[in-house]
Chain A
Amino acid sequence: MVEQNLLLLLVLTPFISAALAATLPVQSRNAETWLAGLTMALALVILAVLAPAVTGGGKVIRHVEWASTIGLDLTFRIDGFAWLFMVLVAGIGMLVLVYARYYMAPEDPVPRLYAFLLCFAGSMAGLILSGNIIMLVVFWELTSLVSFLLIGYWHHRQDARDGARMALIVTASGGLCLMLAMILLGQIVGSYDLDEVLAAGERITSHRLYPIALILFLLGAFTKSAQFPFHFWLPNAMAAPTPVSSYLHSATMVKAGVFLLLRFHPALGGTDEWFQLVTGAGLITLLIGAFVALFKHDLKGLLAYSTISHLGLITALAGIGTPLAIMAAVFHIVNHAVFKASLFMAAGIIDHETGTRDMRRLSGLARAMPVTATLAIIASGAMAGVPLLNGFLSKEMFFEATYVWNNGSPIDNAAPYVAVLAAALGAAYSLRFIVTVFFGPPARDLPHEPHEPPALMRLPVFVLVAACLCVGIAPHALLGGWLENAGIALLGDDLPEFSLKIWHGVNPALVMSVIAMILGIAIYLVPRRWIDRGEEGLGLLSLVAFGPAFEAMLQFLTQRLPRSLLRIANAPGLQAQMRVMVLIGMAAAFLSLQPLEWNISPPPIGARELVFVLLWLIGGTCAIGAAWQAKYHRFAALILTGGAGLVTCTTFVWLSAPDLAVTQLLVEIATTALLLLGLRWLPKRDEEIAADETPRARFRRLRDLLIAVTCGGGMTAIALAVLLTRPGNSVGDWFLRHSYVEGGGTNVVNVILVDFRAFDTFGEIAVLAIVGLTVYALLRRFRPAPESVSRPRPQREAEEQALEAYLFIPAILMQWLFAPIIALSAYLFFRGHDLPGGGFAAGVTFAIGLLLQYVASNVRWIEARLTILPVRWMGVGLIISASVGTGSWIFGAPFLTTHYRYLDLPLIGKVPASTAMLFDLGVFAAVVGAIVLVLIAIAHQSLRIAPRARNTEPEETL
């Protein structure tokens, strides 16, 4: 069980550390490095503890039940292959984090970088350790998202933003394809469990949906691993800080794609389609990447295309799919991660110490920075596949795989030649990198005088290069066991005999190697000056640089297409749009109601209902009056609306909905106060503007009137039809029966809100809080209309003395009312569970009490005596509600389960006590906070413009 929990820890700790890292101060580079480095070290320790468990085909699985009914469980599993990959992620991660400490400039906000890097490590761990294929896709997309943030770290730079966006669009779209593929696989196999999917290889490959699933799957893997034709995002991602590139493009991000190919090889591989598509794409990418890399002048550009090329190599091996090829792929994943990470770091050091990455300007750096030069030369040797270095060994295995296996297809026949040519190109660009940058005359006119970096910045490079050397010299002793475990995890127990040795005797692979080396030196030496001076690539290159085409497509999809669609579909102005919306709504209602039978006889109106009729005579008049007057007589319209609201409220009382009536009444007051405050900033409409009486305007109004009348008539008809149908059983009956038994309250409406449907209520108070904050944010930047800046006319015309005392008596009354209102609010709150009332009503009451104080006295007077922190009220409210909800987890119950009992309190007697009441308390606080925040934000506007108003007043009196 300890091991299972350690597995969980392996995924969770990076995320927790990321949250911590994000909260550290901006300048705390050392603390960040320690935190992040220790997180990675912890991961390595955990992996060391887990090592015995994954040896010889063992695996550790941690299963957390989640939504088992639809096959979604949180399953984490580790086997030899995942273990090896995790060692790379954590090990190289640790080195990158140390390196980043020295690479980042003092003005760069490091907490963001470290938080993102840790998040990335966590997502990567989740992806590798997922035992459920849907969860795997979730982590997959998470790596895409975090890599977007990392690539766009220097978001003030256009190229960083563009590169990040491109990477996100390409990899995340690939992720969506992968999602579809996984769903298809799940449907075919009948389970989303990784082990079951891997075991069902034959069923999958013989299924008729196999080709579709395979193509979708490969789209996901190829976009992530930058395989042709999706390779174009990777070079653009070089706008990221070098530590990020070093991490993403050596051990993690792009390796996720090949990880997936190898992982799912047992389930999807072994068919002809798999071979043609995967090997084909791999070989093309291998060749193109190596070819373009040779012509790159930018150090990171060269490394980027080299990365593409090496990923192509691994993909090709996965496509070949023989046990030996799979072993070679795993081995090369490790080797490439090690030497490419060190090379990126070396490129970063050169950039950091000289100020440029342009190989046309760099020269002779071996004199200025001998240690770095030595390290970079060894790493390049590994990249080129020089003997005694790790790259040589896996390259040999690759040659062997291309040479040995033979199914006679054109791709298979071409493979050895492509492999040799690409290896030659690889040797050529590695040689070019070494010769151009480190040898030759010392460079002049560099932005900085080159010198060695701090020793600790060099340390990660040193560690990685040492690994290259050690693995290259003693491969079996160092990696043999690990590779065997990974191999068993991927291939099962029938692991082929593979020997990690430097010297196998003279065999075809060695001959191919020698040919590639000689050819590579020739390729570099012969056209050397031409490459160095030439453009970044040839005409051919523009054919494979899909970046511009991608941008053009993006431009078309997000700009031109929507605009032309808008030209067709746009209605001019909001009014027309509203009209279309209303008409569509009416049409939908009409169409869906047409098939129903309407045989309704008009009901009789009894004498008892005369009052109700009179009531709605008033209500209807108010509504129509408000509609009539809203244009010029805003105040009148507001009062009339209030009238309609009161009649609505009375209707609720009449028809047995006391809770609604209470809430409606209180909200009515708050709304009216709100609109009254708002009216201050809406100057009176100028009645001198003549109403538009042209025939067109008359026609417009008539048409709208017709629509409105039809709409109202339709609503009447539907409502009447429903009202006259005898109600059958309602869902509400269940609530009525169970409210007391299960919710412990007699007021069913309140019990529904705070218990049965508490999650809805929680969402609702969150909405309320969001609205409060939005209003507050909007009004912080608010500039009122110029004509409403000065004081309103009645105030200007009144005498100064009368103005001072004009609210004297009401103000005193309102101050006295403060305490009773709060008592009323408490009363409404406490009776809520059993009688009409509750958190909403109490909250609005409390807010009105506060509002009255604002109305009664001036803002400064009241705020000197009463401290109200609406944002805290909202925050506390949300926290209370959420923690009451999560509290039920402790007792093993689902979110927001309530517990209740009656408490016998001295003096007061029996009172209902329920966790639902605590939840209601949260609702109360959130409602108070939101309403007060909105009202105060509007009330404060008059304070903020006061100085300006004084300036303008004298001018007006002149």
Chain B
Amino acid sequence: MELVLALAIGVLTGSGVWLLMRPRSYQLIIGLCLLAYGVNLFIFSMGRLYVGAAPIMPKGGFVDPTAYADPLPQALVLTAIVISFATTALFLVVMIAARGTSGTDHVDGKEREQ
């Protein structure tokens, strides 16, 4: 499981980074989405990973924290998911507006000079 998860993080990040360096703005936005998945999983994997031990407590009494998944990375990632949605929305709109004003979807606002 650990190996698969690590490889998954690597593949997502790699695909995202590759797209980040591409010239078309749509590639960039897809790249950011993929990178966000990768990074979210990465942050998530920094805590204890259990199968079937969600951080939902019983009411009252003594609890053994090590029996549950780590809630802190989860809380961080939850925030990250929402924020990455917001940045995607903002970037999309900037991209659309740039496309309208510059007439091209190259990230520099003009086609590369050959």
Contact = CB atoms under 8 A, between A and B. Distances in A.
Interface of A: 573-575, 578-579, 582, 602-603, 605, 609, 612-613, 616, 619-620, 623-624, 626-627, 630-631, 634, 637-638, 641, 644-645, 647-648, 651-652, 654-660, 663-664, 667, 670-671, 674-675, 678, 681-682, 685, 704-705, 707-709, 711-720, 722-724, 727, 730-737, 739-740, 746-749, 752-753, 757, 760-761, 764, 767-768, 771, 774-775, 778-779, 782-786, 834-836, 840, 927, 930-931, 934, 937-938
Contact of B93 (A704, A736, A775): A775
B23 A575 contact: yes
Contacts of B78: 659-660, 663, 749, 753, 840
A746 to B, nearest CB: 4
Contacts of A705: 18
Contact of A719 (B5, B17, B48): B5
Interface string B14-32: 1111111111101101110
B71 A752 contact: yes
A656 B51 contact: yes
A563 to B, nearest CB: 19
Contacts of B48: 727, 730, 732
Contacts of A670: 85
A707 B19 CA distance: 11
Given A609-B4, A764-B79, A785-B103, A707 B33 contact: no
A134 B7 CA distance: 52
B8 to A, nearest CB: 5
Q: Shortest 6 CB-CB distances between A and B: which pairs?
A: A712-B14, A716-B10, A708-B18, A733-B65, A732-B72, A720-B6
Given A722-B45, A746-B57, A761-B79, A644 B34 contact: yes
A713 B5 contact: no
Contact of B30 (A626, A655, A778): A626
Nearest to A782: B97
A616 B8 CA distance: 6
A733 B66 contact: yes
Interface string B75-87: 1011101110111
28 contacts: A573-B112, A613-B4, A620-B11, A631-B24, A637-B26, A644-B34, A648-B12, A648-B41, A655-B44, A656-B55, A657-B74, A660-B74, A667-B82, A671-B33, A674-B89, A712-B17, A719-B45, A732-B48, A739-B57, A748-B55, A749-B55, A749-B71, A771-B87, A778-B94, A779-B96, A782-B96, A785-B99, A840-B82
A448 to B, nearest CB: 48
A106 to B, nearest CB: 40
Nearest to A789: B100
B11 A712 contact: yes
Interface of B: 1-24, 26-27, 29-31, 33-34, 37-38, 40-42, 44-60, 63, 65-66, 68-75, 77-79, 81-83, 85-90, 92-97, 99-101, 103, 105, 107-108, 112
A736 B68 contact: yes
B71 A708 contact: no
B57 A736 contact: yes
Contacts of A736: 55, 57, 63, 65, 68, 71
Most chain A beta carbons < 10 A, residue from B24, B55, B66: B55
A731 B70 CA distance: 9
Contacts of A746: 56-59
Contact of A740 (B30, B50, B59, B99): B59
B75 A930 contact: no
B9 A719 contact: yes
Contact of B44 (A574, A660, A748, A835): A660
A675 to B, nearest CB: 7
Contacts of A616: 4-5, 7-8
Given A723-B5, A727-B47, A736-B68, A627 B42 contact: no
A573 B24 CA distance: 12
A247 to B, nearest CB: 43
Nearest to A602: B3
Contact of A723 (B2, B71, B90, B99): B2
A937 B93 CA distance: 10
Contacts of A708: 14-15, 17-18, 21
Contacts of A602: 3
Contacts of A579: 21
Most buried by A among B48, B90, B100: B100
Contacts of A664: 81
**A723, A724, A927, most chain B CB atoms within 10 A:** A723
Given A609-B4, A645-B33, A930-B86, A735 B72 contact: yes
Nearest to A933: B89
Contacts of A627: 15-16, 18-19, 30-31, 34
Nearest to B67: A736
B72 A620 contact: no
A623 B34 contact: yes
Contacts of B26: 630-631, 634, 637, 682
A691 to B, nearest CB: 12
B96 A704 contact: no
